Structure 1
Amino acid sequence: MLHYASIMLLAGIGIPLLAALNAALGVRIGSPAGAAAILFTVAFIAAGLVALLTGPQAILRAADAPRHLFLAGLLVAFYVLSITYVAPHFGIGNAVFFVLLGQLISAAIIDQFGLFGARPSPLTMTRATGIAVMALGVWITQKA
């Protein structure tokens, strides 16, 4: 479990870095969409190399996957486009705080109902309180 937590901690550290770097690129080139396209090109190459090294046959099995699972690609595109556009105007911290709040709400719903094959985990009063505390924290940061 610590291994998984460490990986996700690093991924979490990377989200604000991604936002700051891509927002700066978008400002530099004058196009958030252009910056997102560059990001996805680099990501595509990186993911393609990892897929080739770890078992390219998995890509072939994607043809048999339910089509709704490909919605994830649109969601990541929306995230990257929106953070690249919003962050220079709203601030990296503000943008990421709202992303985090949305992630907590969405994750709680997915876990509550075991959506998309997730292991069900009921929304207890403790978890709901944690989400409310996070929402309060976001609100406080906006008042500062």
Structure 2
Amino acid sequence: MDATTAKYAALMLAAGIGIPLLAALNAALGTRLGSPFAAGLVLFAVAFSATALVVLITGPAPLAKLPGTPVHLFAAGLLVAFYVLSITWVAPRFGVGNAVFFVLLGQLISAAAIDHFGLFGARLSPLSLTRAAGIAVMAFGVYLTQRA
């Protein structure tokens, strides 16, 4: 593994560690506030502020390209809202681990399809038997966690 690959892997590992933390923290905030939706709003306000700061520091010039951007690309915002609101509502009822296990399984299936077909400009990476077997093993792992 070269240094660039190792940096990318470490960054994504940290992001992966953050997902259950996000779920647990926002679920606790939603419980404290009595509304998972209010907790989602707070999360997005904090996330917007942090992202706006980064854009200001790195330069807002890329935002000038927004008017020419295909509308379907903005669906990512709806998907992140769906994720945050659903995990904030479900985690206290289903458990953070259970919720994240199913999120992970969904991510693996979706990522494999996106890579296999090169959707949305993704690097084409055909679904091999090995990758399919890995997803099947993960699915079986989710089944085992639910069975216990």
Is the aligned partner of 1:17 residue 2:21?
yes
RMSD: 0.5
Distance 2:104 2:51 in 1: 24
Provide the aligned length of Structure 1 versus Structure 2.
Answer: 144
Unaligned runs of 5+ in 2: none
Q: Which of 85, 89, 97 in structure 2 is aligned with 1:85?
A: 89
Is the aligned partner of 1:123 residue 2:127?
yes
For residue 58 of structure 2, what is the aligned residue in structure 1? 54
Offset at residue 63 of structure 1 (A): 1.6
Distance 1:62 1:88 in 2: 37
For residue 135 of structure 1, what is the aligned residue in structure 2? 139
| Amino acid of the structure 1 residue aligned with 2:54 | V
Distance 1:65 1:97 in 2: 34
Measured against aligned partners, the alpha-carbon deviations of 1:56-95 in whole angstroms (never above 9, x if no partner) come to: 0112212211110000000000000000000000000000
Q: Which of 3, 8, 12 in structure 2 is aligned with 1:4?
A: 8
| Amino acid of the structure 2 residue aligned with 1:130 | G
For residue 97 of structure 1, what is the aligned residue in structure 2? 101
| Length-normalised TM-score, structure 1 | 0.99
For residue 35 of structure 2, what is the aligned residue in structure 1? 31
SS for the counterpart of 2:125 is coil
Unaligned runs of 5+ in 1: none
Is the aligned partner of 1:43 residue 2:47?
yes
SS for the counterpart of 1:122 is coil
After TM superposition, where is structure 1 displaced by more than 2 Å over at least 4 residues in a row?
Answer: none
For residue 66 of structure 1, what is the aligned residue in structure 2? 70
| Length-normalised TM-score, structure 2 | 0.96
What percent identity do the matched residue pairs reach?
Answer: 70
| Amino acid of the structure 1 residue aligned with 2:98 | N
| Amino acid of the structure 2 residue aligned with 1:20 | A
